[in-house]
Amino acid sequence: MFIDIPGELEAALIDLPLPTWELDGSFLAASTMERYRTELAATPRFEEIAETLRHALIDEGGGYAVLRLGNLAKALGAGDRFRRLATGFAAEVAVPFSPFPRWLLWKDIGVKVDKDPGKSSGIGYNAFHMDLVNATLPPDYTTLLCVRPDPLGGGLSILSDAHAAVGRLSEASRALLTESAYHYGTFFDLHEVGEEYKPFPILDDSDLGEGFVRFTAKMLERSELGQAHAEAARELAEELVRGQVSFMLQAGDYLLVNQRRFLHGRQALHSGQETVPVCDRRLLLQLFLRARAGDGSAE
């Protein structure tokens, strides 16, 4: 779902200097969230947009949304004021936090031509995955704020309904995916995401539509899997591609993804990235969210 911001709300937000945020450990402090909510709720039609955003992410059949904040980005730039507004919107859904001590809330995802092409900062196809797949308590939401799209026109975002894809598999394949036979990646210097989960099941719950679908297509090439488990995971990868939606994030677009519903990825950037100055290459900012206790999106 794409959510446009009404003109009267845009005008009010441009003139709204939210205070610098404070953290409580890795999480956005409750006092900051309360202050942001008070300030934002006083602007025209903010409650309407916040409610639309929550429904798009949590209601049955939903799972992702794109807030069109491009006019705000043009007016404010991509600095602190704009990021505070985006943080305020995110806090209407869940609690912003950073699992990485190196980054305070927002993490830069730029483009590095010498990086593994399949990584988030690489230039190649970034296959379907959930973030922090090998954590016992992964983020409930992952969000990406587009500062600059690929100036050469590549890098479409891709999303797929993970549970719908699982529902198209055979019972035998689903049974294999519930077994703790999968592993991927490393695990170190992370906060508030539990412990390393290795090996893990792709399906947290045998009931369709419940729990995380702990999947990353990269484990098909980079993990040693038995033939049956690998084939089941490969079938899932094919169904994810079959059901995918794709779109180009523009400057100021804010993508929020419910990781209990949808998996995400990115098409390859356009060839010729080495000719683009670093300061002009695609740039996203990533922020993770933890569902509040009692939220319908959390277990």
DSSP-assigned letters across all residues of 199-266? SB-SBS-SSTT-S-B--BTTHHHHS---HHHHHHHHHHHHHHHHT-EEEPPPTTEEEEEETTTEEEEE
Q: What percent of the chain has pLDDT over 90?
A: 88
Closest of 49, 60, 62, 52 to residue 9, by C-alpha: 49
233 located within any domain: yes
Q: 77-91, 149-163, 164-178, 204-218: lowest mean pLDDT where? A: 204-218
* Mean of pLDDT values over 18-29: 97
Residue 34 lies inside a defined structural domain of this protein = yes
- Does 207 score more than 80 pLDDT? no
Quick check: helix, strand or coil at residue 4?
strand
Average the pLDDT over 96-107 and give the result.
94
**Across residues 229-252, what is the average pLDDT?**
97
pLDDT band, very low/low/confident/very high, at 295 (cuts 50, 70, 90): low
Q: Which H or E run includes 290?
A: strand 283-290
Question: Quick one: tokens of 204?
Answer: 């947290």
| Contacts (Cβ under 8 Å, ≥6 apart) of 95 | 27, 28, 33, 289, 290, 291, 292
Q: Give 176's pLDDT tier (boundaries 50, 70, 90).
A: very high
Instruction: Identify whether 208 is part of a domain.
Output: yes
pLDDT at 195: 96
Out of 30-39, 138-147, 212-221, 236-245, least confident range: 212-221
> Worst-scoring range by mean pLDDT, 163-167, 243-247, 290-294?
290-294
| pLDDT confidence of residue 208 | 62
On the question of pLDDT at 299 being above 50, the answer is: no
Q: 155: pLDDT confidence band, cut at 50, 70 and 90?
A: very high
Residue 203, pLDDT above cutoff 80: yes
- What's the average model confidence in pLDDT over 60-88? 96
DSSP output for 81-114:
HHHHHHHHHHHTTSEEE-S-TTSSS-EEE---TT
Q: How far is CA 28 from CA 21, 65, 233, in A?
A: 7, 22, 36
For the chain, how many structural domains are there in total?
1
Which structural domain range is residue 179 located in? 2-290
Whether 298 is covered by a domain: the verdict is: no
Residue 12 has pLDDT above 50, yes or no: yes
Which residue carries 């609690």 as its tokens?
95
What rounded mean pLDDT belongs to the chain? 94
Higher pLDDT, 215 or 224: 215
Residues 6+ apart with CB under 8 A from 297: 57, 58, 94, 140, 141, 258, 260, 261, 291
What CATH number is attached to the domain comprising 56? Answer: 3.60.130.10
Q: Is residue 297 part of a domain?
A: no
Q: Is residue 115 part of a domain?
A: yes
Asked whether residue 98 is domain-assigned, the answer is yes
Q: Using 50, 70 and 90 to split pLDDT, how confident is the model at 141?
A: very high
Question: Distance between the two ends of the chain, CA-based, in angstroms?
Answer: 24
Chain centre to alpha carbon of residue 269: 18
Stretch 226-249: mean pLDDT, rounded? 97
Q: What pLDDT does 206 receive?
A: 53
In sequence order, the 6+-apart residues with CB closer than 8 A to the CB of 289 are: 90, 93, 94, 95, 96, 97, 139, 140, 141, 142, 143, 256
Q: Is residue 160 part of a domain?
A: yes
The pLDDT value recorded for residue 298 is: 46
Report the run of H or E that residue 161 belongs to, with start and end. strand 157-161
Residue 24 identity: D
The predicted model scores a pTM of 0.95
